């Protein structure tokens, strides 16, 4: 039986399109040229070209994050593959669906000193949902059946049992150009029926019995996508005086009775924490930013801790885990709600009183403190229009964001899967390209410079707004305990720099704004946030030493007894 020499790639392209994969992010190369050619010629998949593989993978992550769909990426062989690793790790821990297509050299040339040839099979094994290698030679129907089965398995694994990255390694022989692109047969697509597990009725009653006896119940939500069903369930649970709901900026759960500024409240609670400790803790969602709540709960006398997660249910972050519950949280709360009773308790009221007091102290301190990162974030969030999506870079930006209340229920995102500074601007660019909403990314200077290739994009979305808070180095090390005692703070921890944000914006033809003080910042923000036909960048110059002192004094001020 004669088979088209590129039949495996023709079947790959067909199955991608039939599986509702609508976006492919391409990094140019020769070994991946057949994949690029076939997908462009044979499908309606939208192709984005981004040269830098690291930036390209984060760009794809941003698209997938916004659309809640699988996005494919494709690169050539060799070290290009390794550049995907940071975004793949982030997608794995953040649970974002990526299909990673890596072109490879023929298997007989691995470790034979041939160019752009490394060991690519299972290269991402520690942070991938599934990894397959397609057969190099298709000579009969069984080979083709195996090829198609692997592709189906890989595509399905990007979504089930939970979203995540999946790797398809593809050895490709020459010719890389000018080959036959006709496919005479139709591949077989395999589908899965999504199902939702439930708890046995007797187990629900056992959980309800513990719940109904617990006088102090705390629900802590980590990073989470917008989920109105879960949000409504939490609102219903918060009506119980014995229940308090703690959220973070990137939890995307909203209600006036939820405690959204955890660190602000703990500045007061930690004076006398015993009455604020839960005897029952429920956690769900991804990473929690607040180090203070982790420390608080690890020291607390918690009797029961239930962690609710479809797969990672044995996560004992707070060292009190008693039950891992392998369910979607909305399913669990949907079963629990009809069985629970409200209790007479001061627990919720005590936390709410602290939240009100902490907010007043916060406003008092902000009214008097000088120009600093804290005032910069107050100005940004005070001026931010309603319809924005917000991407918050790691290091200081995501921590400052936890200290503020928000006038509107923005959709908030951050790469908190691995919490690295790499790729935050690229992720925001991808997110903006897939969204009808204007998208703001707030980054520090090191994170921006590290990911400046995010602007190396011929189709940089016009709805992308970038704020770079420039304190000429890693400002977080000025208020983390330890680095300032080494004598190496500026040279080896802060990594002080005097690079030009303006010049980078000019190189990539991005509209540039700047502010050096609070007056100029408040004046420029309304114009910066306006809709325009091009992406825009605002550089805010910030005093590093003053900002560190202001933040330290802020938490000291919260703890003062006279407040």
Confidence (pLDDT) at 498: 75
For residues 325 and 400, state if they share a domain. no
Residues 156, 12 within the same domain? yes
| Cα–Cα dist 418/85, whole Å | 12
Q: Does 546 lie in the same domain as 406?
A: yes
466 and 535 share one domain: yes
Whether the upstream peptide bond of residue 175 has omega within 30° of 0, thus cis, is yes
Last residue of a domain, one of 315, 347, 379: 347
> Which of these three, 288, 313, 347, is where a domain ends?
347
Whether 299 has a pLDDT exceeding 90, the answer reads yes
Arithmetic mean of pLDDT, 250-263: 97
**Amino acid 494: pLDDT:** 59
Q: Is pLDDT at 2 greater than 70 in this prediction?
A: no
Average pLDDT over residues 49-72: 98
Burial string for 97-109 (b: 16+ CB within 10 Å, else e) reads bbbbbbbbbeeee
Is residue 193 included in any domain, yes or no?
Answer: no
Q: Which of 15-19, 182-186, 411-415, 450-454 has the lowest mean pLDDT?
A: 182-186
- Using N-to-C axis directions, what is the helix angle for 262-269 and 347-368, rounded to 10°? 100
**What angle is formed at CA 65 by the lines to CA 41 and CA 81, rounded to 5 degrees?**
60
Q: What is the mean pLDDT of residues 187-213?
A: 94
Please check the confidence at residue 411 and state whether its pLDDT lies above 60: yes
**pLDDT of the residue at 104:** 96
Q: Which pLDDT belongs to residue 486? A: 63
Segment 444-484, tens digit of pLDDT: 999 999 999 999 998 999 999 999 999 876 555 555 566 66
CA geometry: angle at 169 spanning 167 and 170, to 5°? 145
In a domain, 358, yes or no: no
**pLDDT reported for residue 478:** 54
What spatial distance separates the first Cα and last Cα of the chain, rounded to whole Å? 84
357 domain residue, yes or no? no
Give the separation between CA 539 and CA 331, rounded to whole angstroms: 45
Residue 497 has pLDDT above 90, yes or no: no
Q: Does residue 211 form part of some domain?
A: yes
Measured torsion, CA atoms of residues 81, 83, 89, 92, in degrees rounded to the nearest 10: -50
Q: Are residues 165 and 233 in the same domain?
A: no
Of 171, 187, 211, which closes a domain? 171
Domain count across the chain = 3
pLDDT at 126 > cutoff 90: yes
Instruction: Assign 247 a pLDDT band (cuts: 50, 70, 90).
Output: very high
Burial class (CB in 10 A: 0-12, 13-18, 19+), 557: middle
Q: Which of 249, 247, 213, 278 is nearest to 413 (CA)?
A: 249
pLDDT value of residue 493: 56
- Summarize the confidence of residues 53-77 as an average pLDDT: 98
Whether 520 and 377 map to the same domain: the answer is yes
Q: What percent of the chain is predicted at pLDDT more than 90?
A: 87
Instruction: Provide the CATH number for the domain around residue 529.
Output: 3.40.50.970
* 164 and 210 within one domain: no
- What is the distance between the alpha carbons of residues 504 and 50, in angstroms, rounded to a whole number? 17
Predicted local confidence at residue 58, as pLDDT: 98
Domain check: are 146 and 210 in the same one? no
pLDDT range class, residue 115, cuts 50, 70, 90: confident
Same domain, 297 and 208: yes
Q: Would you say residue 503 lies in a domain?
A: yes
Average pLDDT, integer, range 61-71: 97
The per-type count for the chain, helices as H runs and strands as E runs, is: 19, 17
Q: What is the CATH number of the domain that holds 298?
A: 3.40.50.1220
Check residue 489 and report its DSSP letter.
I
pLDDT band, residue 489 (cuts 50/70/90)? low
**Cα torsion for 468, 471, 472, 474, to the nearest 10°?**
-90
pLDDT reported for residue 499: 84
> Residue 512: which residues within 8 A CB-CB, separation 6 or more?
501, 502, 505, 506, 536, 537, 538, 539
Domain that holds residue 98: 7-171
Rounded to two decimals, the pTM is 0.94
Residue 88's pLDDT is what? 98
pLDDT digits (tens, 9 = 90+) for 320-372: 999 999 999 999 999 999 999 999 999 999 999 999 999 999 999 999 999 99
Residue 28: CB atoms within 10 A of its CB come to 16
> Is the model's pLDDT at 496 over the cut of 70?
no
Same domain flag for 310 and 278: yes
Answer yes or no: is pLDDT of 491 > 60: no
pLDDT bin (cut points 50, 70, 90) of residue 562 is low
Residue 498 resides in a domain: yes
Instruction: Specify the pLDDT at position 117.
Output: 86
Same domain (yes/no): 17, 161: yes
> How many residues can be counted in the chain?
563
Do 102 and 159 lie in one domain? The reply is yes
């Amino acid at each position: 039986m004669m088979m088209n020499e590129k039949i495996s790639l023709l079947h790959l392209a067909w199955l991608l399109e039939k599986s509702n994969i609508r976006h492919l992010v391409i990094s140019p190369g020769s070994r991946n040229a057949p994949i690029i050619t076939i997908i462009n010629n044979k499908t309606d998949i939208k192709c984005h070209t981004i040269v830098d593989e690291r930036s390209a993978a984060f760009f794809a992550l941003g698209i997938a994050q916004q659309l809640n769909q699988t996005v494919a990426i494709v690169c050539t062989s060799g070290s290009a593959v390794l550049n995907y690793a940071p975004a793949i790790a982030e997608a794995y821990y953040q649970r974002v669906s990526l299909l990673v297509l890596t072109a490879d050299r023929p298997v007989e040339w691995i470790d034979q000193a041939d160019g752009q040839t490394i060991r690519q099979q299972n290269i991402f094994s520690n942070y991938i949902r599934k990894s397959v290698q397609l057969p190099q030679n298709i000579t009969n129907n069984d080979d083709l059946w195996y090829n198609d089965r692997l592709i189906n398995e890989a595509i399905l694994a990007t979504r089930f049992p939970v979203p995540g990255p999946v790797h398809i390694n593809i050895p490709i022989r020459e010719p890389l150009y000018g080959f036959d692109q006709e496919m005479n047969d139709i591949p077989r697509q395999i589908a899965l029926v999504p199902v939702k597990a439930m708890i046995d009725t007797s187990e629900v009653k056992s959980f309800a019995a513990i719940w109904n006896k617990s006088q102090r119940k705390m629900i802590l939500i980590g990073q989470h996508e917008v989920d109105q069903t879960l949000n409504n369930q939490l609102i219903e649970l918060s009506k119980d005086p014995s229940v308090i709901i703690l959220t973070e900026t990137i939890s995307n759960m909203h209600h006036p009775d939820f405690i959204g500024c955890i660190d602000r409240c703990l500045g007061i609670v930690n004076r006398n924490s015993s009455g604020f400790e839960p005897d029952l803790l429920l956690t769900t969602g991804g990473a929690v930013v607040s180090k203070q709540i982790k420390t608080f709960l690890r020291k607390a006398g918690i009797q029961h801790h239930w962690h609710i997660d479809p797969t990672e249910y044995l996560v004992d972050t707070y060292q009190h885990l008693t039950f891992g519950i392998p369910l979607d949280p909305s399913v669990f709360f949907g079963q629990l709600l009809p069985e629970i009773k409200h209790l007479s308790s001061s627990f919720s009221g005590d936390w709410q009183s602290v939240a009100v007091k902490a907010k007043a102290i916060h406003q008092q301190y902000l009214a008097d403190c000088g120009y600093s990162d804290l005032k910069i974030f107050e100005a940004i969030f005070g001026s931010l229009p309603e319809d924005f999506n917000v991407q918050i870079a790691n290091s200081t930006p995501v921590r400052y964001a936890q200290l503020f209340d928000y006038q509107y229920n923005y959709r908030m995102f951050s790469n908190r899967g691995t919490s690295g500074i790499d790729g935050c601007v690229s992720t925001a660019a991808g997110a903006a390209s897939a969204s009808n909403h204007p998208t703001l990314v707030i980054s520090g200077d090191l994170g921006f410079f590290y990911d400046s290739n995010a602007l190396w994009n011929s189709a940089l979305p016009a709805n992308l707004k970038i704020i770079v808070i420039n304190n000429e180095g890693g400002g977080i090390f000025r208020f983390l305990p330890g680095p300032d005692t080494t004598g190496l703070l500026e040279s080896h921890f802060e990594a002080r720099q005097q690079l030009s944000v303006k010049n980078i914006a000019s190189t990539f033809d991005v509209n540039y704004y700047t502010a050096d003080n609070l007056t100029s910042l408040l004046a420029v923000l309304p114009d910066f946030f306006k809709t325009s036909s091009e992406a825009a960048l605002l550089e805010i110059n910030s005093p590093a030493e003053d900002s560190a002192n202001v933040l330290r004094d802020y938490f000291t001020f919260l703890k003062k007894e006279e407040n």
